[in-house]
Chain A
Amino acid sequence: MLTVEKKKKYTADDYMMLEEGAPFQLINYDLVMAPSPIPEHQVISRRITVAMSNFLGDKIDDGFLVYAPADVKFDKGNIFQPDVLYVTPERKEQIVKGHVEGAPDIVIEILSPSNAYYDLIQKKDIYEKYGVREYIIFDPIANTASLYALKDGVYYLHQKAQENELLNSLVLAGFSFDLGKIFK
Chain B
Amino acid sequence: MLTVEKKKKFTADDYVQLEEGAPFQLINYDLIMSPSPLLIHQLILGEFYDALKAFIRETGNQGLVVLPPMDVHFDEGNTYQPDLIYISKERIAETAKDRIEGAPDLVVEILSPSNAYYDLIQKKEIYEKYGVKEYIIFDPIAKNAHLYALKDDAYYLHQKAQKGELLHSLILPGFNFDLTYIFK
Contacts and interface: CB of A to CB of B under 8 A. Distances in A.
B156 interface: no
B130 interface: no
A100 B121 CA distance: 31
Given A2-B40, A114-B114, A142 B2 contact: no
Interface in B106-148: 111-118, 120-122, 139, 141-142
Nearest to B44: A2
A43 interface: yes
Contact of B184 (A2, A111, A142): A2
Interface string A85-124: 0000000000000000000000000011111111011100
A120 B116 contact: yes
Given A40-B2, A43-B2, A117 B43 contact: no
Interface in A44-74: none
Nearest to A112: B117
Nearest to A118: B113
Contacts of B85: none
Contacts, number: 57
Given A142-B121, A142-B122, A117 B2 contact: no
Interface in A1-43: 1-4, 28, 32, 40, 43
A120 B146 CA distance: 14
Interface in A117-135: 117-118, 120-122, 125
Contacts of B182: 2
A178 interface: no
A139 interface: yes
A2 B2 contact: no
B34 to A, nearest CB: 11
Contacts of A3: 184
Given A2-B40, A4-B39, A43-B2, A117 B181 contact: no
B182 to A, nearest CB: 6
A113 B117 contact: yes
A117 B116 contact: yes
B93 interface: no
Contacts of B47: 2
A175 B8 CA distance: 37
Nearest to A184: B2
Contact of A116 (B117, B141, B181, B184): B117
Contacts of A4: 39-40
B39 A113 contact: no
Contacts of B121: 116, 120, 139, 142
Interface of B: 1-2, 4, 39-40, 43-44, 47, 111-118, 120-122, 139, 141-142, 181-182, 184
Interface of A: 1-4, 28, 32, 40, 43, 111-118, 120-122, 125, 139, 141-142, 184
10 contacts: A1-B184, A2-B47, A2-B181, A3-B184, A4-B39, A28-B141, A32-B113, A117-B112, A117-B120, A121-B141
Given A43-B2, A121-B139, A142-B122, 7 more contacts: A4-B39, A112-B117, A116-B117, A116-B120, A117-B120, A122-B141, A122-B142
